[in-house]
Amino acid sequence: MRGSIFTYGFWAIAGGLAILCLPMLLLPGRGPAVWAVGVFAQLFRGWLRLCGVRITYRGLHHLDGVGPAVFASKHQSYGDGLAHLARNPALAYAIGDHMLRFPVAGLYLKKAEAVVVDDAAGRRAAGAFDEGVARLASDGRPALIFPEGGLTKVGHGKRYRRGVWKLARALERPVVPVATNLGCFWPEQERRLYPGEAVIEFLAPLTPGDDSRTFMTELERVVEIRTRALEAEALARRGEAPSPV
């Protein structure tokens, strides 16, 4: 029942706000779209809390003095990106070009000047990537990217893509790895919702060197190890054992 109430409310908020704010997309600049997405993120976090899940941000001390970084986050719930935007609405979104094909979401992402990062998308993505990097370099916004390129199940992972290394190198910025256990509370795209305290944890920044393979191996290692620990913490609180990988 909790999950159904949350899901219906989530899509009602998303759909209602998307329709109400559509005229704002006619205004010049990315500001209106960024504002609308930021409001949605705040409403999402509030609705999630009302339904029994509180989001806690750990490791904020790792961000002291870092400046605009590239945040490389684990992705196991629809709420991951919104949870980041609820903390910092100024984040730029680094996405695969497939996200632009979603009818309404694609409009907002394009208007908000999302950076298209997709190693497999060919020349079209390369052009969009170069334009996005130029904009980020000029306005100094931090960027959020999901290196796995899609949702994963709790306890599992996907191959980390080089887009995060490519983006950080182009911007000459550090990468902040981010672990999470939000999927233990709102799993992937499911309608189930488990009450409790979800954690988004920022880890020590990494410097992207010349060797992309070494960097990607280390990024995946630190994110996955800490994510497994956060998952175990969440599951222990509700009396469940972590699923075997």
pLDDT digits (tens, 9 = 90+) for 178-211: 999 999 999 876 678 999 999 999 999 999 999 9
Considering the domain boundaries, does residue 245 fall inside one? no
Considering the domain boundaries, does residue 95 fall inside one? yes
pLDDT digits (tens, 9 = 90+) for 67-119: 899 999 999 998 998 999 999 988 888 776 666 666 677 778 777 777 777 64
pLDDT digits (tens, 9 = 90+) for 6-47: 988 988 998 898 888 888 888 888 888 888 888 999 999 999
Considering the domain boundaries, does residue 98 fall inside one? yes
Considering the domain boundaries, does residue 205 fall inside one? yes
Range of the domain at 183: 2-237
- Distance of alpha carbon 74 from alpha carbon 55, whole angstroms: 15
Considering the domain boundaries, does residue 87 fall inside one? yes
- In the prediction, which pLDDT does 245 show? 42
For residue 51, what is the domain's CATH number? 3.40.1130.10
> pTM higher than 0.85 for the full model?
yes
Considering the domain boundaries, does residue 244 fall inside one? no
Considering the domain boundaries, does residue 243 fall inside one? no
Considering the domain boundaries, does residue 51 fall inside one? yes
Split into its structural domains, the chain has a count of: 1
